[in-house]
Chain A
Amino acid sequence: MAEMAARPVGERGFGESLLWLVAICVTLAFFFPFYWAISQGLRNPIDTFTVSGLGVPWLSFDPTLDNWITQLSSPESRRALANSTIVSVGASVLALALGTPAAYALARFRFRRVPNIDITIWFLSQRILPPVATVIPFYLVMRAFGLLDTQLALILVNATFVLPFAVVILRQTFLDLPLELEEAVLVDGGTYRTAFMRVALPLAAPSIAATALISFAFSWNEFLFAITLSSRDSLTIPVFIAGSVDTRGVQFWFMAVRALIAMVPPVLIALLAQRYIVRGLTLGAVKG
């Protein structure tokens, strides 16, 4: 501290300005696509390629809400939103319903034949497998069960891919909970089930919430299986955005609006659950 204070003010001011400059540049770089989507979405199709410069509404072109009105009132976009919501929530719930008990078992019990760590790594290895390798098998399986173009098919597939992640994260969460708390439950008269339900689960709640959110985001953005396994009824938002193409080429005005609509739910949830995410994701890192 003393050394810093001893430095000339001018020098420190320069360093600080440089830092600010970099920060502003980075921020602009990150926010520009959002800005461009907003600007694009407010333009008449005719203005798409004719507006030069930064495309500032009112300065460069007359903004219109037509694209938004069209998109928000179209049954296709509503159905895509509904599908995405159902699929993402369903996949997260399913993955956590299966993953939480699995993670707890891996953290607290010793399996006889295969060491726990091997089972954990096997779970993790599911994430190493390139999803594209499983597209055709999944397609065939879903066709055999008559599940093509259903929300259930996408829920099952997304849950399959999110599950290993949930197991690995939550296993660490449970490992970090003090064992004595659960031992206390056993001595107090409870069973392993009580120890899990009444003590371990509530204490792992922040981590479970964070995992749920990440699962949600993963399923929300999933494209490969959504486009393969659905044709109309179960189309999700990413496929819907990619579908902003007609015989005249890419409809940038619609694509921009759809992309912005698609962003709203995850951002809202993330803002609401912010407190939990930070706590949940640092739970494994910092031991209390």
Chain B
Amino acid sequence: MATIEFRRIQKQFGDVTVIPDMSLKIDDGEFVSLLGPSGCGKSTTLFMLAGIYLPSGGDLLFDGARVNEVEARDRNVGIVFQSYALYPHMTVFKNIAFPLKFKKVPDAEVSRRVHDAAELVRVAELLERRPEQLSGGQQQRVALARALVKDPTLLLLDEPLSNLDASLRLVMRTEIKALQERLKVTTVLVTHDQVEATTMADRIVCMSDGKIEQIGTPDDLYRRPASRFVAAFVGSPPINLLDGYAADGRLIVNDHPLALEGEPATGEVILGIRPEHLQFMATGGLECRIDQIEPMGRETLYVADSPLGNIRVLESGAGARHAPGENLRIGFHPEHVLLFERGRETLITGARASVRQG
């Protein structure tokens, strides 16, 4: 168990700066997810925690002690790689026992701890097999057992679910979260999949271009995204983002004026509204015409042509209730509207737009 702190951490590879300046605190026993698109520096951050990469600047603290130059082997960190990285020439037992070899653990205890770890992730009956004889899900469990067998102070998961098929991903997601809650081990998960991050982590660190865009609970990121990037990255189907111009308590989007309430924002803005926050209604709101229908099973996504431009509307309940070409009206609640400053791309707090025609 450990608290982790990044103090103004930098990382360069040659002339390329991957992490310009990063500060982050992770509490003891917390499950934190680093979320971002590929190339955003999340894996680099993870490898710095593992000790595989050394930070180029700043301080990395484990329990308040600086570990910048501490070798990977002395950090007592467990890691599950994206490819699992099981040693192909060793049996499952030897794979799980491998980290204990360096700790001078007596044979009897090695055997007990390997069996305990295997029991924990339910691979006890596979101990004599080789990795190539295991399914993806089983390999994943073995990799977890190998990471956990040494009672790590920190557990690192690098895209652990990305090589699994969809249904198995769901199962492992639940299992990993349950395991983490039981063991109370500080855990850092790297993922580009927002669903993985929001379902498993206590807190999400959303990253882009080596910078932290926002740190918060899954709810924070969904409800109050700090920037346009976070708004676009979190949420599925993706949020509607419409360029507009704010002046004199009015918001002009695509030549269509909307009323602006609260602290009035001015200048170039981006209006964000999630598809699930738009409703079809009989009267009021904006006129629109259904262009396209994407049935998603439990819900239906409509692409509608509105005075604001093309807009995605999500309607829950199975079966499409509207057909392409149908003319409808859509509306939204002002509190669901997000406004971002264009240029800095940050959230403007306090501003609300309503559909009331200007």
Given contacts A189-B150, A190-B73, A203-B88, contact A184 B102 (CB under 8 A): no
- Check: B247 CB closer than 8 A to any chain A CB: no
The A-B contact count (CB < 8 A) is 57
B87 and A189 within 8 A (CB): no
Q: Which of A18-26, A122-130, A175-183 contacts B (4 or more CB under 8 A)?
A: A175-183
What is the minimal beta-carbon distance from B100 to any residue of chain A, in angstroms? 8
**Beyond the given A181-B87, A187-B72, could you list 18 further A-B residue pairs with CB under 8 A, ordered by the A residue number?**
A181-B85, A183-B50, A183-B72, A184-B79, A184-B85, A186-B71, A186-B72, A186-B73, A187-B50, A187-B51, A187-B73, A188-B98, A188-B102, A189-B73, A190-B73, A191-B73, A203-B88, A203-B89
13 A-B pairs whose Cβ atoms sit less than 8 Å apart in the complex: A180-B85, A181-B88, A186-B52, A186-B72, A187-B51, A187-B73, A187-B75, A187-B78, A188-B73, A188-B98, A188-B99, A188-B150, A203-B88
* Residue of B73, B85, B87, B99 with most chain A CB atoms under a 10 A cut-off: B85
A-side contacts of B47, CB under 8 Å: 183
A188–B103 Cα gap in the complex (Å)? 10
- Check: B111 CB closer than 8 A to any chain A CB: no
A-side contacts of B102, CB under 8 Å: 188-190, 194
- Check: B60 CB closer than 8 A to any chain A CB: no
What is the minimal beta-carbon distance from A144 to any residue of chain B, in angstroms? 46
- Check: A202 CB closer than 8 A to any chain B CB: yes
B83 and A180 within 8 A (CB): yes
A188–B105 Cα gap in the complex (Å)? 14
A-side contacts of B101, CB under 8 Å: 189
> Per a CB cutoff under 8 Å, which of B81, B89, B103, B150 touches A180?
B81
A183 and B88 within 8 A (CB): no
A186–B146 Cα gap in the complex (Å)? 13
- Check: B77 CB closer than 8 A to any chain A CB: yes
B-side contacts of A184, CB under 8 Å: 79, 81, 85, 87, 146
> Per a CB cutoff under 8 Å, which of A181, A189, A198, A199 touches B99?
A189
Q: Give chain B's interface secondary structure class.
A: loop
A-side contacts of B75, CB under 8 Å: 187
B-side contacts of A199, CB under 8 Å: 87, 89
A-side contacts of B150, CB under 8 Å: 188-189
A235–B82 Cα gap in the complex (Å)? 56
Give A181-218 as 1s and 0s: 1 = Cβ < 8 Å from B's Cβ atoms: 10111111111001000110011000000000000000
* Residue of B72, B79, B82 with most chain A CB atoms under a 10 A cut-off: B72
> Per a CB cutoff under 8 Å, which of B51, B83, B87, B88 touches A186?
B51
B103 and A183 within 8 A (CB): no
A-side contacts of B103, CB under 8 Å: 189
A-side contacts of B52, CB under 8 Å: 183, 186-187
B-side contacts of A185, CB under 8 Å: 98
A178–B75 Cα gap in the complex (Å)? 23
In the complex, what residue of chain A is closest to B77 when comparing beta carbons? Answer: A187
B-side contacts of A189, CB under 8 Å: 73, 99, 101-103, 150
A187–B99 Cα gap in the complex (Å)? 8
Q: Nearest 8 A-B pairs (CB), nearest first? A: A189-B102, A180-B85, A188-B99, A186-B72, A184-B85, A189-B73, A180-B81, A202-B89
In the complex, what residue of chain A is closest to B156 when comparing beta carbons? Answer: A187
> Per a CB cutoff under 8 Å, which of A178, A191, A202, A203 touches B83?
A178
B-side contacts of A180, CB under 8 Å: 81-83, 85
A190–B51 Cα gap in the complex (Å)? 12
* Residue of A185, A189, A191, A198 with most chain B CB atoms under a 10 A cut-off: A189
A-side contacts of B99, CB under 8 Å: 188-189
What is the minimal beta-carbon distance from B157 to any residue of chain A, in angstroms? 13
Give B57-99 as 1s and 0s: 1 = Cβ < 8 Å from A's Cβ atoms: 0000000000000011101011101110101110000000011
In the complex, what residue of chain A is closest to B99 when comparing beta carbons? Answer: A188
